[in-house]
A and B are shown apart, each in its own frame.
Chain A
Amino acid sequence: MAKRIEASNVSSYYGSFKAIDSISMTVEPKTITALIGPSGCGKSTFLRSINRMHEVLPNARIEGRLTIDEQNIYDPDVDVTAVRRLIGMVFQRPNPFPTMSIYENVVAGLKLNGVKKKSALDDAAEQSLKSANLWNEVKDRLNRPGAGLSGGQQQRLCIARTIAVEPQVVLMDEPCSALDPISTLAIEDLMFKLKDRFTIIIVTHNMQQAARVSDKTGFFSIDKTGDPGRLIEYDDTQKIFSNPTQKKTEDYITGRFG
């Protein structure tokens, strides 16, 4: 199921503005990798470059090489929608489709990919909601609007929607920043569970969260506003938080900077 992501010298641009500068990192299958760093350092830009959501914005482009199990994600012959099916994404703010019910939200991705059989959709919806630890809360009201759930439930609904299409990699862009601590904990538990099946990369501002959930941590930083973000240090989470090699990393995780 899960696949390896390799980035080598990836730089992303918005028009002429360089947002990140030659990022290289390897993310192993079935691990959780946390990306931390101050605001504006390019963590999210890098994350969005991985599933080619970066290029949705006008004039956005990347340089360098990104591969998933040796296949070039940015190969001109590659179908971009296939990349995004392979590498799912959960966004910062819960974004269920407002016009759809809980059920319709979960199966939206499957319907987009041509699954029509009712029984297959029903099974997938139940499985995904169970995987997202949401089934027990919503099984009696699957036809109610998805946007009527609480923030934490909406975010788990979005995770269910993402994993329903069975991607290889799940990207999470600050998935808990709009949630209360209890919902955050629910999502962190969920991430441990999903780690058995997916490669997970999460951007977070919450260093305790990075320390709790991730196997590896990458620290991004910028020298000053307007400069591109760089990957300062990338190592085992334990090492980053106990014995970082870079002074900048240490300053950041001890709260003396950023």
Chain B
Amino acid sequence: MGDYPSSSTNATAGGSGVTGRHARSAGTGVSPSSYEPPIGGGDGLPKKARFSMESGFRGLSTAAGAMVLVIIVAIAIFLISKAVPALRADTVNFLSYKQWFPNDADPKFGIAALAFGTVLSSVIALIVAVPIALGIALFLSHYAPKRLANPLGFVIDLLAAVPSVVFGLWGRDVFLEPVRDFSVWLNHYFSWLPIFGGDGPFGRSILLGSLVLAIMVLPIVTSLSREVFQQTPGMNEEAALALGATKWEMIRTAVLPYGKPGVIAAVMLGLGRALGETIALALTLGTVFSISFNVIENGGNSIAANIANTFGEANATGRGALIASGLVLFAITLVVNMAARAIIYRRREFRDSAA
């Protein structure tokens, strides 16, 4: 107030120690010639608002956060309540039995073959997809000229938008032939390896399902890894180059270690998609309930594909059994994710100090 001697004549809100909270706007409305306090506040200290956007938004976001927990708990209760009666009715060991006859009067079903097929097809898919995805990501982030990298990255992202049923149909009707020929060739030359053994028929195998899965997880792993690689600090890349590193050595010294946690996260997301993939595997796998490491003979099955294939003709016990298998799938995903987090957590000291 001392700074604005002229304001004493027409100030409306000034003077008192604590003013109403709209002191500023009140000042502007009086007349064109009226004194307007500066943004920083020339008058008394305004009161704290009791209700405002601030507390309202805080309440909204807290409610949203709490809702996630409520939904998860509700889903878990629902699934467990459906699964337990079916598991009680099961006349064999659910964890070790390989067949799936939950609709019989004398229900016999087990998760062993399904869980095995799920994990095997996903692991093979990752073994195929991850090296290719990392290669593409590095090419896009460090080798390709910008004019090529951007459209190519866009095409890769587009691949992620293709619905899985399209991949499944394509795998069953188009991709099957080359995979069958390849399987015959593998069997001819490498049948001494148990995974490529057997007498056929070949084609609708774990290999076909895995390759289709690989194509499906490729874009996820690629675009996330590319994002991570691009964030490597330029000064670390320059440090490596200034030590006399070639481009590949620079990538090995600066880019890959820096991107490692991000790549692991990307691979885990890809694995999550592969483990949960339903329709593409339902269309490409041979639907055989057995535990076999032979990847080229007709066969294979997965938890999600089995749910899609058998849900239609399932009775109450059958549905409960399928829900139980879904819980097992959830448990597998959980274990995988926790393992990944543990890997990332182990090197946290290095990651945190880098910031």
Contact = CB atoms under 8 A, between A and B. Distances in A.
A243 interface: no
B347 interface: yes
B97 to A, nearest CB: 46
> What are the 5 closest A-B residue pairs judged by CB atoms, nearest first?
A98-B354, A85-B244, A99-B257, A109-B243, A89-B242
A161 B353 contact: no
Contacts of B235: 91, 93, 95
A88 interface: yes
Interface in A98-139: 98-101, 108-109, 112-113
A82 interface: yes
Interface stretch (B45-53, B77-85, B246-254): B246-254
B258 interface: yes
Interface SS of chain A: mixed
A182 interface: no
A51 B245 CA distance: 13
Contacts, number: 83
A97 B244 CA distance: 15
Interface in A21-56: 51, 53, 56
Given A95-B236, A99-B260, A112-B249, A145 B353 contact: yes
Interface string B241-282: 111111001000110011010000000000000000000000
B350 interface: yes
Given A91-B235, A97-B253, A108-B253, A148 B353 contact: yes
Interface SS of chain B: helix
B182 to A, nearest CB: 39
B238 interface: yes
Contacts of A165: 243-244
Interface in A163-202: 165
Interface residues of B, number: 24
B343 to A, nearest CB: 14
Nearest to B145: A58
Interface residues of A, number: 30
Interface of B: 233, 235-236, 238-246, 249, 253-254, 257-258, 260, 347, 349-351, 353-354
Given A93-B235, A99-B350, A108 B244 contact: no
Contacts of B347: 99
A108 B244 CA distance: 10
Given A98-B353, A109-B244, A112-B249, A91 B260 contact: no
A205 interface: no
A56 B238 contact: yes
Interface string A50-92: 0101001000000000000000000000000110110011010
B325 to A, nearest CB: 40
A147 B350 contact: yes
Given A98-B236, A99-B258, A88 B353 contact: no
A158 interface: yes
B238 A95 contact: yes
B243 A88 contact: yes
A62 to B, nearest CB: 16
A204 interface: no
